[in-house]
Chain A
């Protein structure tokens, strides 16, 4: 037995060296594998991608990881449920019980604050060793910084300031989407849809987080990047907040689908695909559904930047977070190897092309769809990248929850602009 094991180790080492030679360019992550390191623990990664494009993406990521680290036992554990709710709860339970996973999926940025004390620092072992600080875009690097080090690695980014539309419906209404360059112009377009077609001008859900991201993009588009950034930093201008709510109310009270209070965004998106509605504002995860339905970018559906945010990229980031700190990570070496990999070009290409998100580092775009290629180019060219307020980047988890409460209490039909404005000013 002993003999068998030893010879197995030698074989593997030789094999890996050969593989590295054949493979040519040995990336940093490959170098770790070349050392012939023994992996004694199982890697356990908790994530929430259980279905559709998310499941395909994590499978692709797991496969790519497996071929780079064939000797490591890895368990990618999916936790079902929309919007990471069940995942967050399952992770919280594990952390409270003192039995953290090796790593878990979650939003970086202010979302990390809630995990104070139970996250480990991976600056030296992951960020420096794999050279991720130079490779990733500045905002993504900053978002993963926590306390005096780093506790997360970005895996991809969804765009938050796309305004999607059904090409046929807007043509029927005689609207040229490319010509919509301001909020007022958009309202005129909505009017045209209402009067010229049977379609609903603006489809969406009235779930609080959806309204929150809608308000945020209006704030960015009508009041500008600085006004938005001041608000999330706690120095918001009340007039700007109020004006954004008034604009949101205009759209929601006059152009929205009637069943919005009851449906979720995927159902609203169905209306867009079926030609029953003209516009929808959502994170670009909805584009995955267009692709799955076989709809053509440009001929069936299109997108513009939300009016007023032409030079921005609304930033959302998904990441893998490293538990540690007061808790013992069950497999620190394996987790760090995985996180170094997660920040690599291979991982970002494998994951994002299926997820419908884009890498937070520069990658060749030939694997990506025309729409995502366009998004990648916009991301690189954007002058400003305002962090999303509805997905953990801009504000902490409890503030985000309070904002959603405030919307739920005051702004989801009937629309009480004064009440919600003063609550927002109080909370942030």
Chain B
């Protein structure tokens, strides 16, 4: 892939010199011999250099030309049509927006007035440190992050191994497990609200059959985060399963056979031979899962709106509450920056590792 790209770039560079030469020739109006360009692109190179020799009378002019040509010849300029438009769009809509958000977080912007940038300071960040609700939201965010990611990885792994063992209706199961992921948080939140319903929900009904409960899954501060994590795991373990399954399929059958010949039990084979080879899949899946967990906002908002039940308030819901309920824009911006920093802390090591391995 990379080599091909390089070849394309080379080709473009050649083309560039060629058109540059042509341009010079046309500018002088000296030759019409360049009819060659019209008949065949390949022959034009000759015509170009020839006419160039004819017309370049002053050395100054020539060096001026060549400097421009050198600039135009650079890789970065040559490839600009490819990277520049997305760079500008991303730069403006993503990075400039982040920068602006950071600038707002340094002001005291609130309500409907205009933003006053004349006095900047870290007041909001100091306020965050002394806000007990912030600590609780941060703690919940981490609990959600870690709990959700770990459970998802384990459940996904077990499902993938089972499906990889050529079970009957394997494809059907794969679709069934993956299906919840295609639903939006709004829909799954509504599902789980019904299932967790204190009086009529299927969870309490089922437990009731064994003489347990009823439990207030979405009302009890001790249970609520666990309930949310369970619902999210239900939704996303299918994704982990697919990632693992792809990695499992890439492992040659010989290794299974070799392990068996050596007399390893199935459990031992997976533990010692197969699972260690799934590490790259695990890393990439967990990065995606952590980012999903940071965005679990939709799910919580669909159930509770601005103010989730105590125990389920995460940074994202706190941020929205500060911004849209209290109109405390600056404070909400500083929470957004914290959330951004957390995401970065998760994704940066991964990107760095990928970069070192030459995958980026």
User: Which of A's residues lie within 8 Å of B, judged by CB?
Assistant: 82, 85, 89, 92, 95-96, 114-118, 206, 208, 258-263, 397-398, 401, 404-405, 408-409, 412-414
Contact = CB atoms under 8 A, between A and B. Distances in A.
Interface string B270-290: 000000000000000000000
A409 B325 contact: no
A411 to B, nearest CB: 10
A118 B112 contact: yes
A117 B326 contact: no
Given A117-B113, A412-B310, A262 B327 contact: no
Contact of A408 (B132, B220, B307): B307
Nearest to B110: A398
Nearest to B199: A259
A117 B198 contact: no
Interface residues of B, number: 28
Contacts of B307: 208, 404-405, 408
A409 B219 contact: no
A409 B327 CA distance: 21
B216 A405 contact: no
28 contacts: A82-B305, A85-B305, A92-B324, A114-B111, A114-B327, A115-B111, A116-B111, A116-B113, A117-B112, A208-B307, A259-B198, A259-B199, A259-B216, A261-B219, A262-B197, A262-B216, A262-B219, A263-B198, A397-B327, A398-B326, A398-B328, A401-B321, A404-B307, A405-B133, A408-B310, A408-B313, A412-B221, A414-B221
Contacts, number: 71
A6 B199 CA distance: 67
A89 B219 contact: no
Contacts of A95: 112
A405 B325 CA distance: 12
Given A258-B216, A397-B327, A409 B132 contact: yes
Nearest to A398: B326
Contacts of A397: 325-327
A409 B133 contact: yes
Interface in B77-135: 111-113, 132-133
B275 to A, nearest CB: 40
A82 B305 CA distance: 10
Contact of A85 (B111, B113, B197, B306): B306
Interface string B212-246: 00101011110000000000000000000000000
B218 A117 contact: no
A206 B219 contact: yes
Contacts of A258: 198, 214, 216
Q: Which of A92, A262, A263 has the most CB of B within 10 A?
A: A262
Given A206-B219, A404-B307, 6 more contacts: A116-B113, A259-B219, A260-B219, A261-B220, A408-B309, A413-B219
Contacts of B219: 206, 259-262, 413
A262 B221 contact: no
B34 interface: no
A99 to B, nearest CB: 13
A159 B136 CA distance: 36
Contact of A92 (B197, B220, B310, B327): B327
A261 B216 contact: yes
Nearest to B112: A118
Contacts of B326: 397-398, 401
A89 B320 CA distance: 11
A412 B222 CA distance: 12
Interface string B300-327: 0000011101100100000001001111
